[in-house]
Structure 1
Amino acid sequence: MTRFVRIIIFFLTLFILSGIATSATLNEPLINQSIPRNLSEVVEVPDVQSILTNPTQYYGKTISLKAVVSMTYPEKKQFNMADRVGCSLCTAKNAKNSVIISYAGEIPKYLDIIQITGEVIPEKNKGYHINATTVKK
């Protein structure tokens, strides 16, 4: 085989393989579009108070938040998170100092300190909630 033919075969192989790789990512099903494809798309939120102070700045964004579970509602697949301040906020009367988290997986236990990743979703006439995609202890 001549050198020229080998070079052509080499480039054709590269071209075909790059096409296969590209079409695989383009045809990939989008199961959950809210899961960020790039970690730089996740906004690190320092505390619950940051969300409570200005929730609209987080609407539609994927956030990461570490806080304490202040209330649980397993039947609704929800729980509340509050800042970790001796957990004096972990009472029903202080629910306004927490954020509501919806999660399809196992609901964490009361007073667990967890890290969540999820999207802040505005609700009609009810403020907002966070739809968690991951919950880690």
Structure 2
Amino acid sequence: MEGCSFCRIVAGELPAARVYEDEKVMAFLDHRPLFFGHTLVIPRQHVPTLAELSGDLLAPLFGLVQRLARAIPLALEAEGTFIGINNRVSQSIPHLHIHVVPRRRGDGLRGFFWPRRRYPSETAMEETAARLRAALQHV
């Protein structure tokens, strides 16, 4: 897609520290990482959000995410990883990208992304679950 920074990286028009690429997916270092090794995984094809990802790209995309979740602790002596996806809200580039971020205890990231809260009641929690179950029947 014209003007998409990630499509321009795929095309070789913009530089990136490429970590992996094949005919369907690509991984490269985030240029403004939360921690060194913070990697972005994208489909080479322009896809705006996870909801719009075709089934034939699902396994290659998440297969690479899984491989990076294994590789990052080995390569960077991290204790684990954080995996994150934004869909529209907080998505700085409208091309699906999955963040694979090295994590270490005490790295300061806890609570960084979401203000956590409790459901007001068990009933409210079950009502929310029921709404999601119903919606799953239609997607």
TM over 0.5: no
**Whose Rg is larger?**
1
Which protein has the bigger strand share?
Answer: 1
TM-score by length of 1: 0.22
